[in-house]
Amino acid sequence: MFLIYVLTLSIFPGFLYENTGKHKLGAWYPLVLIACYNVWNLISRYLLLVKFFEIESRKGLTIAILSRFLLIPAFYFTAKYGDQGWMILLVSFLGLTNGHLTICVMTAAPKGYKGPEQNALGNILVLCLLIGIFAGVSLDWLWFIGKKNAF
């Protein structure tokens, strides 16, 4: 849970808003990026109503969560060299994986435990969620290192 939100909030929305450049969409571009993220995040949360899309194995969840860190260089190079279409695609994928993995972790983690253990695990998940949100927001400024006129 921690890693999901550290990655998501270290990229979104600060990096996207600051590194939009000039595009055909003009001032609408940041709004389109935020809307794409939110729409795909919502869709992915309801996608799990279909059992086929549910990731139940802890090993599969770990691989999926760690593989999201490949999005960091993808966002960096897309912001530097890519077109707005690629950035919209990456932001949509970030929203899709964020919502999907959040719900998968929240539902798969308590399986195999009984009553009080499930309650304690739920509290630990919420704590990891809050620490991940704080760490992700705190790390958002790291994208500005080495950038001219960053501050």
Whole-angstrom distance, CA of residue 145 vs CA of residue 56: 38
pLDDT tens for each residue of 9-35: 988 877 766 666 667 777 788 888 999
Distance CA 44, CA 42 (A): 5
pLDDT tens digits, one per residue of 60-79: 999 999 999 999 999 888 88
Backbone dihedral region for residue 17 (phi beyond 0: left; psi -120 to 50: alpha; all else: beta): alpha
CA distance 58 to 63: 9
Predicted confidence at residue 150, as pLDDT, reads: 54
* Per-residue buried b or exposed e for 51-70, using 16+ beta carbons within 10 Å of the residue's own CB: eeeebeeeeebeebbeebee
Which tens digits make up the pLDDT trace of 109-148?
889 899 899 999 999 999 999 999 999 988 887 766 656 6
Q: Kindly list the distances between the CA atom of residue 52 and the CA atoms of 48, 55, 77, in Å, as whole numbers in the listed order.
A: 8, 8, 33
